[in-house]
Copies of this chain bind each other. A is one copy, B any other.
Amino acid sequence: MAKMNASFLELKKSYLFIEIGKRIREYIASHPDNKIIRMGIGDVTQPLVPVVVEAMKKAADEMGVKETFHGYEDSGMGYDFLREAVSGYYKKNGVEISPDEILISDGAKSDCGNIGDIFDSSTVVLVTDPAYPVYVDSSVMGGKKVIYANSDESNGFAAMPDKNVHADMIWLCSPNNPTGSAYTKEQLKEWVDYAIENDAIIIYDSAYEAFISDPDIPRSIFAVPEARRCAVEICSLSKTAGFTGTRCGYTVIPKELMLKTPTGEDISFMQLWCRRQGSKFNGVSYPVQRAAEAVFSPEGQAQTKKVIESYMANAKVMAETFDSLGIKYTGGKNSPYIWFKCPFGMGSWEFFDKLLNEAEVVGTPGEGFGKNGDGWFRLTAFNTLENTKEAMERFKKLFK
């Protein structure tokens, strides 16, 4: 009898974005001519930059000519040209990562979802709460035990390790989705020390690193050198360069990173992951890899920097609005997200409805990201400056 993986029954039903969609549709149906401003879903709004489009088109042309056609990629782990470009990007940011420690993926979500496959099902997984739901869901699907570290008001929504709690695998995300908080180097060092103490592996999601402008906030966990012994970093071009619909990311696995065999021997993390990917993945589309390479060219860096700056200009407008209203928040500085406590003592969904009905602005109730999101709310800077300003004007009126 073909039986299901019973761990799937342990998953929480996630109706967050479905419920948001339903409420928006209902509102639009009864107010068809009104202008709703969407600051809910974390998707980018600006198009791919010109140098990226040109690179993809050039690669598509190559694919149509026998002499320059690309079939299966030998390794499936990414073309050298892109691995070298990513390595150069790290170097520019002060971190040495060899190209052969960089694996190209079809986006951070795939690697975040699948990397638990090479860990034993007895693994205790520590997740900060609130968090991107993939960390918990993929752990639960794999039958692993999940424990939580609280991100809350007391620590500025940047959870720190508790030395009395043991974990084998640790998910960190900085700058954080959904809270916008970002770890300092000292805070990351504390996590790295905790991981080494526990023989644990940190999976570090740096998808929002491009939004960091503060020189004291590291863009990579490998800014802490000891992290090479205990961390994997998963990054994405989704937010860096608007690749949410183009699909490309990269994962860094230091050569010296090890897991333990059942008899306690060291075994190479890279070797295990490549064995997994070698059987279950066949590489990223060649034209997409060429498009990604263009992101790291001088022109690509200049063009994408402008896009990031435009989003951060929106975040500044939002932060100034919150400051003027005296509402405390995290994010908005090194992150496109602003995270705040729902005003008027409201719950997340209650405030969602008020914001939609009275200001025609859509945000995201915090409770979709974990229990510490109850009563909290997320707004994103992924919009035009004009819309952001208008949304903030409407927002202010709620408080009059």
Contacts and interface: CB of A to CB of B under 8 A. Distances in A.
Interface of A: 1-6, 8-9, 11, 14, 41, 43-50, 52-53, 56-57, 60-61, 63-66, 69-73, 106-107, 109-110, 112-114, 117-123, 133-134, 137-138, 141, 168-169, 198-201, 242, 244-247, 259-262, 267, 272, 275-276, 278-288, 291
Given A53-B63, A63-B245, A288-B285, A5 B262 contact: no
A71 B9 contact: no
Question: Which residue, of A45, A121, A246, A287, has the highest number of chain B Cβ atoms within 10 A?
Answer: A287
Given A64-B47, A134-B280, A5 B121 contact: yes
Given A4-B120, A285-B285, A60 B60 contact: yes
Contact of A47 (B63, B113, B120, B247): B63
Contact of A4 (B65, B245, B247, B260): B260
A2 B119 contact: yes
Contact of A279 (B45, B134, B279): B134
A118 B4 contact: yes
Given A110-B280, A245-B285, A246-B286, A260 B1 contact: yes
A248 to B, nearest CB: 8
B71 A245 contact: yes
A254 to B, nearest CB: 14
Among all A-B residue pairs, the 10 with the closest Cβ atoms: A113-B280, A53-B64, A70-B245, A3-B120, A47-B69, A137-B279, A71-B244, A43-B71, A1-B199, A56-B60
A119 B5 contact: yes
Contacts of A117: 5, 141
A279 B132 CA distance: 10
Contacts of A41: 72
Copies of the chain in the assembly:
2
A399 to B, nearest CB: 31
Nearest to A170: B2
A343 to B, nearest CB: 29
Given A3-B123, A260-B3, A285 B199 contact: no
16 contacts: A1-B199, A3-B260, A6-B262, A8-B272, A9-B261, A56-B57, A56-B60, A57-B60, A63-B246, A71-B244, A110-B281, A113-B281, A114-B114, A117-B141, A246-B286, A288-B288
A400 B69 CA distance: 38
B2 A169 contact: yes
Nearest to A140: B279
Contacts of A66: 45-47
Given A3-B259, A8-B118, A61 B69 contact: no
Contacts of A278: 14
B279 A133 contact: yes
Nearest to A76: B109
Given A53-B61, A56-B57, A71-B245, 9 more contacts: A1-B260, A3-B261, A4-B272, A47-B65, A53-B63, A56-B56, A72-B245, A133-B279, A288-B288
Given A276-B141, A287-B287, A64 B45 contact: no
Contact of A110 (B5, B137, B282): B282
Given A48-B69, A259-B2, A272-B4, A113 B279 contact: yes
Given A2-B259, A9-B261, A283 B63 contact: no
Nearest to A120: B3
